Amino acid sequence: MIDQASDSRFRFGYVAIVGRPNVGKSTLMNRILGQKISIVTAKPQTTRQQIMGIKTTGAGQVVYLDTPGIHRSSGRALNRYMNRVAKAAFRDVDLVLFMIEAGRWSRNDRAILKTLRAANVPILLVINKVDLLKKRGELLSFVAENVVPQELEEVMMICATRGDGVDDLEAKVMDKLPFSRPFYDEDQITDRSERFLAAELVREALTERLHQELPYALTVEIEQFKREGSLLNIGAVIWVERDSQKQIVIGKGGQALKQIGSQARRAMEELFEQKVFLQTWVKVSKDWTRSQKALERFGYGES
């Protein structure tokens, strides 16, 4: 319990987690929260929308914004939407965690840093996956060659999957936030609805089990979300762009869809802490990723 009245040293602020695709932004937020809010897969561009994660302690309340990976390609309306969401996130925050991968400094990383500097927002560089560099000398050389001191005052090194350095990172973040009363209830951990989280878990299972470009051509819409006693009934529609994609998602004899549904259902039962009955259907919305109207219909609105 937080005694806000007696603790004038309480801190509050918004922190955006920004970086190119697949550097571990969602893994870091889940690690900080101690609960899975953002879906995580090995494929880049898994996160499509900004997801808020709220961490409240006796010292303060931090609102982390997990953002889509900023990428150079913007051919589809969906890609352009994800870039806009990511770039909008750091305009009104108290701090940006700019995440990169140990041993890799790409043109995309440099472009993101340039954008962040133009936004004139405080930046804390977070180097993730430090376990990939076995020798400490390699890590020090990487930092020395790529990090320019006048651009970034501080650098934190972590391994989000194992939790190495994450406690130190959280302490550093808290020190940089202003003194203020909390904005959210202390037991709230996200601004997203349970329907949204259910849809994301289905999409996670799809992304992990389907290959090549197909995961980027689908989205998930929850048509039913109803609790009946101890059972949670969920109906999910998987939207793809073409009939051929529909057949791949369903699989021979419906086996692929059955496996995807089973994986998603187990994840939902763990998250919602109750028995779940999940039904899934696959439908076609031609070239929906290229249509602004279709994006808005499926929840990818500018708000």
Which of 5-14, 95-104, 161-170, 259-268 is predicted least confidently? 5-14
- Residue 146: pLDDT over 80: no
Q: Which is more confidently placed, 56 or 66?
A: 56
| 153 and 32 part of one domain | yes
Give residues with Cβ within 8 angstroms of 217, minimum separation 6: 240, 241, 242, 245, 289
Q: Please report the pLDDT score of residue 173 as a whole number.
A: 97
Pair 157, 198 in one domain: no
pLDDT-derived band at 300, boundaries 50, 70, 90 = confident
Q: Based on the fold, state whether residues 291 and 239 are members of the same structural domain.
A: yes
For residue 133, is pLDDT > 90?
Answer: no
Per DSSP, the three-state class of 143 is helix
Residue with tokens 């939790």: 163
Q: What is the mean pLDDT of residues 238-267?
A: 95
Per-residue pLDDT tens over the stretch 254-272: 999 999 999 999 999 999 9
Structure confidence at residue 73 (pLDDT): 59
Q: How many CB atoms within 10 Å of residue 42?
A: 8
Model pLDDT, residue 7: 60
Q: pLDDT tens for residues 57-89?
A: 999 999 999 887 776 655 667 777 777 777 777
145 within some domain: yes
Task: Please state, in angstroms and rounded to a whole number, the distance separating the CA atoms of residues 26 and 260.
Answer: 21
Domain boundary among 176, 205, 228: 176
Whether residues 202 and 68 fall in one domain: no
Q: Are residues 106 and 152 in the same domain?
A: yes
Q: Of 274 and 89, which is predicted with more confidence?
A: 274
Are residues 198 and 134 part of one domain? no
The domain in which residue 211 lies consists of: 194-297
Find, among 248, 249, 253, the residue nearest to 237 by Cα: 249
User: Are residues 252 and 118 part of one domain?
Assistant: no
Q: What is the mean pLDDT of residues 1-6?
A: 49
Output 80 or 130, whichever has higher pLDDT.
130
- Is 11 exposed, middle or buried (CB count within 10 Å of its CB: 0-12, 13-18, 19+)? buried
Query: For the residues of 230-298, what is the DSSP string, one character each?
Result: TEEEEEEEEEESSHHHHHHHH-GGGHHHHHHHHHHHHHHHHHHTSEEEEEEEEEE-TTGGG-HHHHHHT
Domain annotation covers residue 189 = no
Based on the domain organization, do 137 and 69 belong to the same domain?
yes
Residues 237, 240, 243, 245, CA torsion sign: negative
Two structure tokens written together for 146: 């790529």
User: Based on the structure, what is the number of domains in the chain?
Assistant: 2
**What's the CATH code of the domain at 128?**
3.40.50.300
Same domain, 288 and 230: yes
Query: Are 280 and 150 in the same domain?
Result: no
Residue 254 lies in a domain: yes
Instruction: Give the pLDDT band of residue 6 (cuts 50, 70, 90).
Output: very low
Amino acid identity, position 278 = L
In a domain, 5, yes or no: no
Residue 5 has pLDDT above 80, yes or no: no
In this structure, the answer to whether residues 25 and 112 fall within a common structural domain is yes
Calpha distance 22→253 (Å, rounded): 33
Residues 27, 147 within the same domain: yes
Counting DSSP H helices and E strands in the chain, the numbers are 9, 9
